[in-house]
Structure 1
Amino acid sequence: MSAAKDFPRPGKRSTPADRASMVRVDQAGEFGAVRIYGGQLAVMGDRHPYGRLIAGMAAQEERHRAAFDAMIARRGVRPTLLAPIWNVAGFALGAVTAALGPRAAMACTAAIETEIDQHYADQLEQLGSDDPELSTAIADFQAEEVEHREAAIAHGAEQVPAYPLLYGAIRLGCRAAIALSKRI
């Protein structure tokens, strides 16, 4: 694939294939987020002081996933074939970061949501006015992802030991998952 397809030039309109890829990758990402929070809650439980916060973010991610599930069905978009991997990987990431402690779980959220904020911003730029339904959903969900990142930082994400390493590794993994889910 050409770099121009991966990184659209300003003013380039999105194609139906681009929009199908966006729906596919966004559904995969929201599914992964649901699984991450599921893993965190499995370790920390809903009685943990951060349990309510995590459960609230998980509920929003579930709503996002359901919206993209509906778009996949309505638009006839093939979901990613990597869902079984994201199922296990997302849960494992959530469980491992929660086992490292609540601040590590928050660092995971901060890293993921930083990456998703940029991912959604790139999509909105590429979409322009080509697909109002998709643009509206992405913009609404992006605002909630930013809230999740801000909440994670407010709850000590940056105070976890080796934060730059953990944050960077999770962001790198998220970027790889995005790149793979666009195509597979």
Structure 2
Amino acid sequence: MSCAALMASGSLWRLCFGAPRPLSAYGRRISVRFCSSRMTLDNINRAAVDRIIRVDHAGEYGANRIYAGQMAVLGRTSVGPVIQKMWDQEKEHLKKFSELMVAFRVRPTVLMPFWNVVGFALGAGTALLGREGAMACTVAVEESIAHHYNNQIRTLMDEDPEKYKELLQVIKKFRDEELEHHDIGLEHDAELAPAYAVLKKAIQAGCSAAIYLSERF
């Protein structure tokens, strides 16, 4: 059973937090612990964690839509299996952040419908340029995401590396996999895409805007 399904049934809550705990007489929620981590709903920097989980969920959702767009155009070509393998990893990333949103009660960005359309359009549009165009998009996006993950790692390390150990492990693992996708893109001739430097710069500018908006809205 998935983590989200367990949460819906109440099993995940009992597994991670113990029996459901009511508000105190003063309306203050009693501290609860997230699985084996030192992170609890009361002792974490809620603003920072909410921002991190929200934007990472949005980013992985957008990446999934990009790969969906690429597969719609190139899925039956020789590069299709390469794209599918990267997409499968992005699906796992999205699943994990969806579970973390439930566990930490983080709302998704209100821009999800927008990223749904824009992500697919970006993936399909660059794929129409051919394999090189799709891989140029992969390089640009994954480089931006890895840079963003590195910023989050520094933030959590400055806060308390032991307390945020489990979240740090997740982010570091996904960062490394995004960098693998970046390298795969380069290995499959991303730099041969038409106007590669311009295309990469434009996509990364869009990624920066998406990160800024998803963190806040």
* Structure-1-length-normalised TM-score: 0.91
Task: Report the counterpart of residue 91 of structure 1 in structure 2.
Answer: 120
> Which of the pair has more CA radius of gyration?
2
1:140 aligns with 2:169: no
Where 1:100 maps in the other structure, the secondary structure is coil
* Count of equivalent residues: 170
Task: Report the counterpart of residue 62 of structure 2 in structure 1.
Answer: 32
- Residue 132 of structure 1 and its aligned partner are, at CA, apart by 1.5
Q: 1:65 aligns with which of 90, 94, 119?
A: 94
Task: Report the counterpart of residue 82 of structure 1 in structure 2.
Answer: 111
* Structure 1 residues 130-182: Cα deviation after superposition (integer angstroms, max 9, x where no partner): 41121111000000000000000010001112100000000000010000000
Give the Cα–Cα distance (whole angstroms) in 2 for the partners of residues 134 and 104 of structure 1: 33
Paired AA for residue 135 in structure 1: L
Give the Cα–Cα distance (whole angstroms) in 1 for the partners of residues 132 and 189 of structure 2: 5
Instruction: Tell me which stretches of 4 or more aligned residues in structure 1 moved more than 4 Å.
Output: none
Task: Report the counterpart of residue 20 of structure 1 in structure 2.
Answer: 50
* Structure 1 residues 81-120: Cα deviation after superposition (integer angstroms, max 9, x where no partner): 1000000000000000001111000000000011011100
Asked whether the 8 Å contact 2:66–2:123 carries over to 1, the reply is yes
* Structure-2-length-normalised TM-score: 0.77
- Residue 65 of structure 1 and its aligned partner are, at CA, apart by 0.3
1:124 aligns with 2:157: no
Q: Which has the higher contact order (CA 8 A, sep 6+)?
A: 1
Instruction: Please list every run of 5 or more consecutive structure 2 residues that lacks an aligned counterpart in the other structure.
Output: 1-43
Q: 2:189 aligns with which of 156, 159, 163?
A: 156
Asked whether the 8 Å contact 2:54–2:214 carries over to 1, the reply is yes
1:52 aligns with 2:87: no
Asked whether the 8 Å contact 2:138–2:182 carries over to 1, the reply is yes
Asked whether the 8 Å contact 2:135–2:190 carries over to 1, the reply is yes
Paired AA for residue 175 in structure 1: S
Give the Cα–Cα distance (whole angstroms) in 2 for the partners of residues 144 and 112 of structure 1: 13
1:170 aligns with 2:203: yes
Give the Cα–Cα distance (whole angstroms) in 2 for the partners of residues 134 and 35 of structure 1: 24
Task: Report the counterpart of residue 7 of structure 1 in structure 2.
Answer: none
Identity %: 48
